[in-house]
Amino acid sequence: MSRVVSILLVDDASDIRSLLCRILEQAGYADIRAVGSAEEALAELSFRPADVVLLDLFLPGMDGISLCQALKADRTLHRILVLAISARSDGHPLERAFEAGAIDFIRKPIDRIELLARLRSALRLKEEMDRTRDRERDLLETAAGLRHANQALERLSMLDGLTGIPNRRSFDLFFDSERRRCQRFGRPLGLLIADIDEFKAYNDTLGHPAGDVCLRQVARTLVSLARRPTDLVARYGGEEFGIILGETDAVGARAIARAARDAVVSLEILHPHSPHGIVTISLGVAASTDEVSGRTLIDRADAALYRAKRAGRNQFSEAALPLGTDV
């Protein structure tokens, strides 16, 4: 982190506080405070918050778990990272600490290497969380220029926490608005439902962190293909994305579907359980100028998606038309 990291030590044993202070100071941490009770910690943090709290779980009076719960319930202190410290490494207290909001655990007796490694990991997490909040704030600040008035601002503020793109509620609001607008002016509306192929197998094999990275990469790729004010890419479900294409007919929707499929292939994300060896997507395509309900258009795109899945994946299928295999 570029700024000075603020650390608060909470332990009723003065020798442990001295040891922790010495290790942290030798490692280059300059802003270190230490208190001996949870009550003192609350008073200290209320006066000046910290980035990280190293917290002994077993304290006289108010214990560490109660302090952790109090921090997470406080609107001004809930983002403080809590690392639990205890001589016990199993059992109910440790489980309760994680439930209360602690993000990691350090065993007693304190090991210098373990302490510094876990602290660095916690600070990297905080840095990423801060960057994510900054990105979300930037999106909110530019929303007025990217979408129509207050409705667009609300849509872009409702983002999916993992991918950073609009979520399902944003999709529903924008889809209803754009469908009505296109019908009013007799303009076509295109809709794509995209699904990452064999994503459960990908998650089960490589783990959820790798799955999260994959979702972010696919989301960014899809967003790059639909950038007009009348377009919206949203996380529609677990590994599904909805792509709304205002004023786009079937020909245009097919072109975007083909481009989306090819763009994901070009990412070359390795997938050990895919017949292609890489992550691919399947898409259902629907487009209409008729006064059909939104549910009907979504159902058509969904049905087309399942046809693409059954036909072998890594392709698109168009609603009520032959399968788009020449993709």
Average pLDDT over residues 14-43: 93
Cα 270 to Cα 22: distance, rounded to the nearest angstrom: 45
Above 90 in pLDDT, residue 214?
yes
- Predicted local confidence at residue 322, as pLDDT: 36
Percent of the chain scored above 70 by pLDDT? Answer: 89
More confident site: 41 or 322? 41
For residues 57-79, average pLDDT: 90
Is the pLDDT reported for residue 189 higher than 50? yes
Residue 84 has pLDDT above 60, yes or no: yes
Least confident of 131-140, 207-216, 235-244: 131-140
Domain 6-127 has CATH 3.40.50.20: no
Which of 163, 297, 151, 185 shows the shortest CA–CA distance to 235? 163
- The answer, yes or no, to whether residue 327 has pLDDT greater than 50, is no
Is residue 323 very low, low, confident or very high in pLDDT (cuts 50, 70, 90)? Answer: very low
| 259 vs 249: CA distance, rounded Å | 15
Give the orientation angle of helix 168-184 with respect to helix 294-310, to 10 degrees: 120
Q: Give percent helix, percent strand, percent coil of the chain, each to the nearest 5.
A: 50, 20, 30
pLDDT digits (tens, 9 = 90+) for 153-176: 554 567 898 999 999 989 999 999
**pTM of structure:** 0.51
Look at residue 290 in the predicted model and tell me its pLDDT. Answer: 66
Inter-helix orientation angle 112-146/149-157, to 10°: 160
pLDDT band, very low/low/confident/very high, at 326 (cuts 50, 70, 90): very low
**Predicted local confidence at residue 294, as pLDDT:** 78
The token pair at 225 is 């293909």
- Arch. (CATH architecture) of 147-324: 2-Layer Sandwich (3.30)
> Does position 146 have pLDDT exceeding 80, yes or no?
no
Residue 80: half-sphere exposure toward Cβ, Cα within 13 Å:
32
Residue 91 pLDDT greater than 80, yes or no = no
Domain layout of the chain by residue ranges? 6-127, 147-324
Query: So what's the pLDDT on residue 135?
Result: 80
Indicate the average pLDDT of the chain: 87
Burial class (CB in 10 A: 0-12, 13-18, 19+), 323: middle
Instruction: Give the pLDDT of residue 324.
Output: 37
For residue range 279-320, list pLDDT tens digits in order.
999 999 999 866 667 788 999 999 999 999 999 999 999 986
pLDDT tens, residue by residue, 259-268: 999 999 999 9
The pLDDT of residue 7 is 94
Average pLDDT over residues 167-186: 90
Residues 78-106, buried b or exposed e (16+ Cβ, 10 A)?
eebbbbbbbeeeeeeebebbeebbbbbbb
